[in-house]
Amino acid sequence: MPRLGLLPRRAFAALLSQLLRPPRTACVRALGGHSQIAEAMVTSQLKPHQEKPSFIIKTPRGTRDLSPQEMVVREKILDMVISCFKRHGAKGLDTPAFELKEVLMEKYNEQSGLIYDLEDQGGELLSLRYDLTVPFARYLAMNKLKKMKRYQVGKVWRRESPTMVQGRYREFYQCDFDIAGQFDPMIPDAECLKIMCEILSGLQLGDFLIKVNDRRIVDGVFAVCGVPESKFHTICASMDKLDKISWKGVRHEMVAQKGLAPEVADRIGDYVQHHGGVSLVEQMLQDPRLSQNKQALEGLESLKLLFEYLTLFGITEKISFDLSLARGLDYYTGVIYEAVLLQTPAQVGEEPFNVGSVAAGGRYDELVATFDPKGHKVPCVGLSIGVERIFHIVEQRIKTSGEKVRTTETQVFVATPQKNFLRQRLKLIAELWDAGIKAEMLYKNNPKLLTQLHYCENTGIPWVVIIGEQEQKEGVIKLRSVATREEEAIKREHLVAEIQKRLSQS
């Protein structure tokens, strides 16, 4: 039990930190359908004999509730993503929300500070998962699986600094697809890119581009530019910021913060400006310095083969070999990729926003081995769909279009025009439920007919079953179409069959 004596001080501190903090909340609020914060002091009243702390009622910083409207959109997008993963033969997997702290350590380079740790309550040291990739690798090693094609959809948590990255949440969904196993080169890698194309095309988010590079090319560039090997990881992390800050800013970080020689940074700068198709791969293969580097050469040869397969898949026009792409995570070892929307889908009335990357991934051939007692390798390649940003775009569109989203699926409403018909309504609605028909009624003894019909119009219920004195006498019920307002009498005993007939026709 929490010690009550500590509470008022803690609550005060929490309040103070709220008031002093920059208004991150405004950003969260703009995204959600409901206000995420009720700026009010709350006094708990469950046990009136105890003194209660006062606190501001809100969701934790960087998190939000999803309202029913948002849930409908989310469900549709997730369904679409999952059905694509299944189309490619993936199996489902679920892993715990938290892992042993040791499992996550050393996997995320400079992002490790963003991991949420659980309090040591006398047991294991635990952390909330940071992505779905490391848990997947841990699962493979733990179960000694040598191959697996799996998808996983679930929340991950990152303590992102709200001032740095606008519009990002600290809790968000990831949708991952990965292929583990020793296969012939670039076939699974090409399929991952195909999947990204299928999903981004299917969701109709507008034009997109998938930037592709290879971690070995990144390392090769670093090597030929003169970056000391001990600095590869940290310089790679700096380069990963190129989609958020300019080359000038990245160069400054490399030189001032990471201690890179300015001329080395400039040499890197010369390479990272390049992007193009398979011809750029050929060009780089001719680059006198790069082609001498074993790592870079391997990466370039791989990309050449990859482009051949992408041509067969018919998706090369969506792919750009981009030497500035780094991907911040430590565990990538081969091809890496990141999909970006080419234009902000700003329509009239929409506020423009930077959506950043909407999907990303790459090859990580060494990660599973770090969990295997004998260091056995299981090569892996995979992708993650940035559904959170996709939700944002789709939600904005719906908002702009003024389209009304139904948040329930109710097919039939049970109504009465008379008093004292509660019992008949209850009996009738139970019949509908038992027949699998989605049905609602008002939880009132004697509701007004108009109130009942308005409820149907407001919530989009298409059919109303009406039962009253007259109908009861005649052994019928009235079936009313909410759209046309037409009513017809139906024999009471045929009710379920008649409704099912109408529902199957619509």
Binding site for L-histidine: what residues are annotated?
131-133, 158, 174, 178, 327, 331-332
Please answer whether residues 292 and 170 qualify as being in contact, where contact means their C-beta atoms are separated by less than 8 angstroms: no
List the one residue out of 36, 103, 89 whose CA is nearest residue 67: 36
Q: Which is nearer to a second copy, 296 or 429 (CB)?
A: 429
Tell me how far apart the alpha carbons of residues 366 and 140 are, in angstroms, rounded to a whole number: 12
Decide if residue 420 touches a second copy (CB under 8 A): no
Please answer whether residues 185 and 294 qualify as being in contact, where contact means their C-beta atoms are separated by less than 8 angstroms: no
Q: Which of residues 164-193 bind a second copy (CB under 8 A)?
A: 171, 179, 181, 183-184, 187-188, 190-191
Q: Which is nearer to a second copy, 237 or 339 (CB)?
A: 237
Decide if residue 60 touches a second copy (CB under 8 A): yes
Q: Which is nearer to a second copy, 126 or 300 (CB)?
A: 126
Tell me how far apart the alpha carbons of residues 308 and 292 are, in angstroms, rounded to a whole number: 23
Tell me how far apart the alpha carbons of residues 158 and 164 are, in angstroms, rounded to a whole number: 13
Q: Which is nearer to a second copy, 345 or 386 (CB)?
A: 386
Residue ranges of the binding site: 131-133, 158, 174, 178, 327, 331-332
> x-or-dash pattern for a second copy, window 368-407, by CB under 8 A?
-xxxxx-x-------------------------------x
Tokens 């390479």 map to which residue? 271
Element (DSSP H or E) covering residue 464 = strand 463-466
List the one residue out of 197, 205, 198, 204 whose CA is nearest residue 318: 197
DSSP reduced 3-state for 268? helix
Which span (149-157, 216-224, 260-268, 283-291) binds a second copy, by CB under 8 A?
149-157
List the one residue out of 296, 270, 269, 275 whose CA is nearest residue 285: 296
Q: How far is the CB of 400 from a second copy (least distance, A)?
A: 23
Q: Which is nearer to a second copy, 291 or 424 (CB)?
A: 424
Question: Which member of 230, 286, 484, 505 binds a second copy (CB under 8 A)?
Answer: 230
Q: How far is the CB of 310 from a second copy (least distance, A)?
A: 10
> x-or-dash pattern for a second copy, window 327-366, by CB under 8 A?
---xx----------------------------------x
Tell me how far apart the alpha carbons of residues 90 and 382 are, in angstroms, rounded to a whole number: 12
Q: How far is the CB of 246 from a second copy (least distance, A)?
A: 26
Decide if residue 138 touches a second copy (CB under 8 A): yes
Tokens 């740095």 map to which residue? 164
Q: Which of residues 80-99 bind a second copy (CB under 8 A)?
A: 86-99
Binding residue count for a second copy, defined by CB under 8 A: 132
Please answer whether residues 258 and 234 qualify as being in contact, where contact means their C-beta atoms are separated by less than 8 angstroms: yes
Decide if residue 74 touches a second copy (CB under 8 A): yes
Decide if residue 316 touches a second copy (CB under 8 A): no
Residues, the chain: 506
Q: Which of residues 264-293 bind a second copy (CB under 8 A)?
A: none
Which span (235-243, 262-270, 309-317, 336-344) binds a second copy, by CB under 8 A?
309-317
Tell me how far apart the alpha carbons of residues 132 and 177 are, in angstroms, rounded to a whole number: 10
In sequence order, what DSSP letters do the residues of 375-393 get, joined into one string?
A: -----EEEEEE-HHHHHHH
Q: Which of residues 19-48 bind a second copy (CB under 8 A)?
A: 34-38, 40-47
> Which tokens go with 215?
């971690």
Tell me how far apart the alpha carbons of residues 4 and 442 are, in angstroms, rounded to a whole number: 43
